[in-house]
């Protein structure tokens, strides 16, 4: 499994670079390099930690994507979600190539900071909830986690993903890439609604949890 995990992690970083600099048409793109640096600095130690401390959790996270989902609504939602993230990267690069946006440096730096914090939060979710899989399912013996980040919102992984997408668009210096937050947000809402309909039926205590933690995705808003 170790080789497969590292190939997947490094392959993802290589794909990120190829999409960014390929669409930008140049390597002279400091925002792109900074974005990759954020991913490398956080994802490589995190992968090593899970391999050493929680390989079963990492194995669970390796099964991802529309084809790994069993529910039709989830296949569509995950497909749109993944395409939205890829589009943010490509549009950010195209924005650099054609100069559509003129974003101040300080705002790009804020975006990079948001990306880093949001990525760290999604990683911390997995540490707090060992049952956090990349696909929607309830396993035998699965326990409901209601504390930590799950005491703030019911789907902190998705909250982190939404914040990370916004941070990436700003970090890449593209106002146009922010428009991709619309389909991304819609896919998260659809995913959450379908997921919760299943969790209410299959995960004991989930109904009570929804009254305890009312926010699904954005604290005090939804």
DSSP character string of 17-28: HHHHHHHHTSS-
Q: pLDDT tens across 57-87, in order?
A: 666 666 667 777 778 888 899 999 999 999 9
- Residue 220, domain member (yes or no): no
Q: pLDDT tens across 141-198, in order?
A: 778 888 899 999 999 999 999 999 999 999 999 999 999 999 999 999 999 999 999 8
Q: What is the extent of the structural domain holding 167?
A: 2-212
- Residue 169, domain member (yes or no): yes
Q: pLDDT tens across 39-56, in order?
A: 999 988 888 887 777 677
How many domains does the structure of the chain reveal? Answer: 1
- Residue 218, domain member (yes or no): no
Per the CB < 8 A criterion, the answer to whether 78 and 191 are in contact is yes
CA angle (122 as vertex; 119, 127 as ends), nearest 5: 125
- Percentage of residues in the chain having pLDDT higher than 90: 61
- Residue 222, domain member (yes or no): no
Locate all alpha helices (DSSP H) within the chain, ordered by sequence.
Answer: 2-24, 30-53, 55-62, 72-98, 105-128, 156-171, 181-202, 206-212
Which residues, 6 or more positions from 128, have their beta carbon under 8 angstroms from its beta carbon? 145, 147, 148, 149, 150
**Tokens for 107?**
């705002």
- Residue 217, domain member (yes or no): no
- 3-class SS at 214? coil
Q: What is the CATH number of the domain that holds 123?
A: 1.20.120.1630
- Residue 50, domain member (yes or no): yes
- Residue 221, domain member (yes or no): no
From CA 172, how far away is CA 16, in angstroms rounded? 12
Stated as kind and residue range, the H or E segment containing 111 is helix 105-128
Per the CB < 8 A criterion, the answer to whether 169 and 92 are in contact is yes
Q: Which of 88-97, 115-124, 177-186 has the lowest mean pLDDT?
A: 115-124
From CA 50, how far away is CA 189, in angstroms rounded? 29
- Residue 165, domain member (yes or no): yes
């Amino acid at each position: 499994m170790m080789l497969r995990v590292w190939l997947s992690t490094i392959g993802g970083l290589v794909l990120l670079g190829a999409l960014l600099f390929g669409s930008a048409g140049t390597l002279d793109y400091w925002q792109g390099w900074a974005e990759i640096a954020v991913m490398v600095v956080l994802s490589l130690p995190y992968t090593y930690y899970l391999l050493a401390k929680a390989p079963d959790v990492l194995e669970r996270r390796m099964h991802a994507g529309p084809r790994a989902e069993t529910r039709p609504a989830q296949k569509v939602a995950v497909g749109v979600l993944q395409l939205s993230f890829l589009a943010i990267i490509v549009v950010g690069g195209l924005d650099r190539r054609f100069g559509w946006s003129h974003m101040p440096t300080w705002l790009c730096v804020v975006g990079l900071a948001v990306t880093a914090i949001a990525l760290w939060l999604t990683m911390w979710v997995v540490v707090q909830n060992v049952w956090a899989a990349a696909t929607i399912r309830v396993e035998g013996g699965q326990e409901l986690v209601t504390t930590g980040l799950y005491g703030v919102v019911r789907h902190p992984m998705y909250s982190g993903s939404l914040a990370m997408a916004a941070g990436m668009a700003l970090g890449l210096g593209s106002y146009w890439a922010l428009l991709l937050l619309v389909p991304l947000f819609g896919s998260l809402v659809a995913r959450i609604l379908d997921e919760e309909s299943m969790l209410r039926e299959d995960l004991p205590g989930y109904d009570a949890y929804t009254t305890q933690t009312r926010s699904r995705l954005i604290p005090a808003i939804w």
